[in-house]
Structure 1
Amino acid sequence: MKQFILSLGIILVMAGCGTVDQNANGDSDENSKEATTPSIDLADFETTLNVEQTDEKATFSISFSNEGEEDADVMFSSGQKFELVVENENKEEVYRYSIGKMFTMALETIRLAPGEKLELTDEWDYMVNGEKVPPGEYKATVTMIPKEINEKTVDANTFQAETTFTVEKVEGANTSQAEEKENTAFRNINVTGENGEYTITGEARVFEATFFYSVEDGHEVIIPETVVHANEGAPSWSHFELKISIPKNKLPKNGTITAQIYERSANDDSVVNQVHVSLQQFQ
């Protein structure tokens, strides 16, 4: 009986020690995690946007800086780190950075030390739907889109900056250069519809009355390359109408549905005279 009581006591002591060790280890792990993930004040991050212009394009310089005193692990949910939108004086969107681009879906984390900046650039050739925008005042707005900073969730539109700039009328010899830059195959493109059902109308002047289109959402192709036959071939301009239907389960929760309309070169089959057409923005 005494031997049984002694054995039971030893077991209870060992169990108690195990509990103490486990709690100690748990506290140590938690403290270690806190030590390696410093708290972050999102107000310590600054977004700036500057624009430089020529007659042919606007170049946007974007900076996202850590003004705090701690290292920051900035995590992005895809290869797209920012969105840039340009609007005209009527607040109509004439350019969006993500349209026509494909981004990887892999998570990416960038560490910014105190005072360090993430610097990015983008260019716009003043074109919308195959035509150069008219002279006037334009507003550019950039939004940095990290998902988390030091494991702290970042809400949409937390980091934004904007600037205004003027697209000047090109005079003299440069006018002909600007006209040559305009798309020679497609013009007067318009889009109607929403939620997966869209109609694109416009005019095409294409070789052998043939051109192509595809649709994507910035991450994957939704409608692969599809051939279209216009009523007449070049040099005549021919009206066209595209009916595009996308299943509801293929519409993105976030992102832009974009159609690419283009020709293929008769020489080497490369894509030429491409126009990016925004069908719908999902947020």
Structure 2
Amino acid sequence: MIKKQWLLTPLFLLLSASVVAACGQGESNETHSGESKQSEDNIESGGDDMIEYQGLSYKTEVEEVNDQVIVTLKLKNITEEEKTVTFPSGHQFDVLIKDETGSTLYDFAEDMMFTQALITEKISPGEQLVFKVEWDKSGADYSSLTIETKLNISEIDNKEVDNTPFKLILNKD
């Protein structure tokens, strides 16, 4: 009986670690009131916008090419030192595209599965991480789109990030 218990203990610890790694993935509707800076005028006009937080610059660019809406998320190191960002899972970012009534037309994460592993990225000074999503609007004529983007970063330089400082909402007319 003792030998079997010793064999099961490492398995129990491994399973416990997996459960802990999967926790904390819930959504937060809180806004960050710390160091994050965002231009309200630019959001209202539907232009590109940028957030600066802890030496990182976050920008979302949107372009329409034929029937495609291309959303590009860029996280740039604007310091003179290397920055390390940690994502709590393979779900590194979110993109939602909504119509003028607020109905969701596209959700990047819908029907997708993501790894439950910490992902760490090092960003050298002046370098950037780039994520790109293409959505086929299938010839539909939408007079106005709202594009919500968010980076799911849990740590910067091994320090926990509160709330969601890297979130932008753009209106595309």
- Asked if the contact 1:83/1:142 (under 8 Å) is kept, the reply is yes
The answer as to whether partners of 1:145 and 1:156 remain within 8 angstroms in 2 is no
8 Å CA contact 1:86, 1:138 repeated in 2? yes
Alignment-derived partner of residue 142 in structure 2: 135
Does residue 64 of the first structure (1) align with residue 71 of the second (2)? no
CA distance in 1, matches of 2:164, 2:127: 21
After superposition, the C-alpha distances for 1:158-192 in whole angstroms (9 at most, x for unaligned) are 112333334xxxxxxxxxxxxxxxxxxxxxxxxxx
Greater RCO (CA < 8 Å, at least 6 residues apart): 2
Which has the larger share of strand?
1
Corresponding residue for 1:145?
152
CA–CA distance in structure 1, aligned partners of residues 53 and 171 of structure 2:
26
Number of equivalences: 122
TM-score (norm 1): 0.40
- Determine whether 1:102 maps to 2:119: no
- Equivalent residue number for residue 169 of structure 1: none
Aligned to 1:113: 124
Counterpart CA distance in 2 for 1:125 and 1:141 is 17
> 1:12-23 counterparts in 2 under 5 A?
none
Q: 1:19-59 CA distances to partner (integer Å, 9 max, x unpaired)?
A: xxxxxxxxxxxxxxxxxxxxxx9342111111221232111
Cα offset, 1:63, TM superposition = 0.3
Match of 1:156 in 2: 163
Structure 1: state its 5+ residue gaps. 1-40, 167-283
- The one-letter code of the counterpart of 1:159 is F
Structure 2 residues not aligned, in runs of 5+: 1-51
Structure with greater Cα Rg: 1
Tell whether the 8 Å contact from 1:86 to 1:96 is kept in structure 2 after alignment: yes
Contact 2:99/2:142, CA 8 A, preserved across alignment: no
CA contact (8 A) 1:59 1:121 kept: yes
Closer/same/farther in 2, CA of residues 156 and 75 from structure 1, 3 Å limit: same
Corresponding residue number in structure 2 for 1:89: 100
Q: TM-score, normalised on structure 2?
A: 0.63
Letter in 2 for 1:149: I
Percent of aligned positions that are identical: 25
Over the residues paired in the alignment, what is the CA RMSD in angstroms?
2.0
Instruction: Measure the CA separation in 1 of the matches of 2:95 and 2:162.
Output: 17
Deviation at 1:103, TM superposition (A): 1.1
> CA contact under 8 A between 1:49 and 1:162: conserved in structure 2?
no
Residues 50 and 163 in structure 1, CA contact (< 8 A), matched pair in contact too: no
SS of the aligned residue for 1:136 comes to coil
Task: Name the counterpart of 1:122.
Answer: 133
Compared CA separation, residues 69 and 119, structure 1 to 2 (3 A): same
Listed one character per residue, the Cα deviations across residues 113-157 of structure 1 (whole Å, up to 9, x for unaligned) are: 121100110011126xxxx75521001121111111111111232
- 1:192-271 alignment to 2 at 5 Å? none
Contact kept in structure 2, 1:58 and 1:124, CA below 8 Å: yes
Question: Is 1:51 aligned with 2:62?
Answer: yes
